[in-house]
Amino acid sequence: MTHKSMTVKIDNNVAHITLNRPDAFNTMNGDFWQEFPTIIDEVSNDSSVRVIVISSTGKHFCAGMDLAVFTQGNQSENLELGRKHEQLRRTVLKLQACFNALEKARMPVLMAIQGGCIGGAVDMISAADCRYCTEDAFFSIEETKLGMTADLGTLQRLPKLISTGLVKELAYTGRRMPAKEAKSAGLVNNVYQNQEVMITAVMKIAMDIAARSPLAVLGCKEMINYARDHSVSDSLNYMAVWQSGMFQPQTDMMETFTAKAEKREPKFDDLAKVDDSNVL
């Protein structure tokens, strides 16, 4: 399909989603908010996809929310105040769901970031599994400078990735955190010389992930995300429940051992294709 704000290419079990509005610094306009969650859901449901890579074009990864989204006509102006605020709450929840989709995706999501990662872009990359950036990259919780509080996931997810004190400093000041500091803080896995080198490296990591059992990788993602939000005891209990249903040594493990004995790379079945039309 043709999209207005991004491109999608699926090859060798990797879905590469590229933000494609470089002249506008890949800001998140109305098209983005319509297309992004739909694409993520479609890719997640695609049984052939085992990894998602998200990158962008131009000088900056993403400059956050397009100002036109803030200034577009408000259809709730004539509503009673309580109802107007209830509508705004639902709007925020809808926008949050766009990035929640990254955590709900059945496969890992890798972010490749160059230049500025600003405002809503920090909300987005915080919901990914792994982040990589170029030497010229920087991260900014820009909303504070605009007189508002970041509301799409940065303040909830970032403290799980880096120290709370650093998150507070970044949020209170809106200052730019450069690539070197982001690496030291643990926000990004690695820093690369330029975008070309970064994309090559990230796609190599994606291919390595895609070569593993997709069911085992899905289990890792589910367990790590669950452990982030629950106690060790609850997480271990959930792990036991997961294994009781998903651990099938006669399939993927047996294929691993057989491939090793035959001196070849293992070949694993894809995850089942999700078809929501068949859900009662």
Do 136 and 54 belong to one domain?
yes
Looking at residue 76, its pLDDT comes to 65
Average pLDDT on 107-115 reads 98
| One domain, residues 14 and 137 | yes
The residues, ordered by sequence, that sit 6+ positions from 141 with a Cβ below 8 Å of its Cβ are: 119, 122, 150, 154, 170, 171, 174
Kindly state the tokens that stand for 196.
Answer: 């070309």
Instruction: Give residue 89's pLDDT band: very low, low, confident or very high (50, 70, 90).
Output: very high
- Quote the domain boundaries for residue 157: 6-210
Residue 28 lies in a domain: yes
Query: How many structural domains is the chain composed of?
Result: 2
What would the two tokens of residue 149 be?
């509080």
- The pLDDT confidence band at residue 69, using thresholds 50, 70 and 90, is confident
pLDDT of 77 above 80: no
Same domain, 181 and 218: no
Tokens representing residue 225 in the block? 């995300």
Do 131 and 244 belong to one domain?
A: no
Please report, for the domain that includes residue 247, its CATH number. Answer: 1.10.12.10
242 within a domain of the structure (yes/no): yes
Q: What is the mean pLDDT of residues 253-265?
A: 94
Whether 181 is in a domain gets the answer: yes
| Residue 1 forms part of a structural domain | no
Domain boundary among 158, 175, 210: 210
Q: Which amino acid is present at 210?
A: A
User: Is residue 264 domain-resident?
Assistant: yes
Three-state DSSP class for 59?
Answer: coil
Instruction: Kindly tell me if the per-residue pLDDT of 90 is higher than 60.
Output: yes
- Is 90 exceeded by the pLDDT of residue 78? no
Query: Would you say residue 188 lies in a domain?
Result: yes
Are residues 255 and 198 in contact, defined by beta-carbon separation less than 8 angstroms?
no
CA 235 to chain centre: 22
Same domain, 206 and 220: no
User: Which pLDDT score, from 0 to 100, does residue 98 have?
Assistant: 96
Give a yes or no: residue 170 inside a domain: yes
In whole angstroms, give the CA distance from residue 100 to residue 94: 10
226 and 205, same domain (yes or no)? no
Q: What is the pLDDT of residue 8?
A: 97
pLDDT bucket at 227, cuts 50 / 70 / 90: very high
Domain-terminating residue out of 180, 210, 240? 210
Do 232 and 189 fall into the same domain?
no
User: What predicted TM-score, i.e. pTM, was given to this entire model?
Assistant: 0.93
Grade residue 247 by pLDDT with cuts at 50, 70 and 90: confident
User: Do 132 and 257 fall into the same domain?
Assistant: no
Q: Mean pLDDT for the chain?
A: 94
Q: Does 88 share its domain with 194? A: yes
The DSSP element (H or E) to which 11 belongs, if any, is strand 6-11
DSSP conformation letters of 120-174: HHHHHHHTSSEEEEETT-EEE-GGGGGTS---SSHHHHGGGTS-HHHHHHHHHH-
> Which of 177, 210, 243 marks a domain boundary?
210
Residue 24 token pair: 């506008």
In a domain, 280, yes or no: no
125 & 228 share domain = no
Look at residue 73 and tell me whether its pLDDT is greater than 70: no
Closest by CA position to 139, among listed 199, 189, 193, 179: 179
Shared domain check, 28 and 148? yes
Mind listing the pLDDT tens digit for each residue in 190-221?
999 999 999 999 999 999 999 999 999 999 99
Q: Output the CA torsion sign for 177, 111, 145, 4.
A: positive
Same domain, residue pair 162 and 250: no
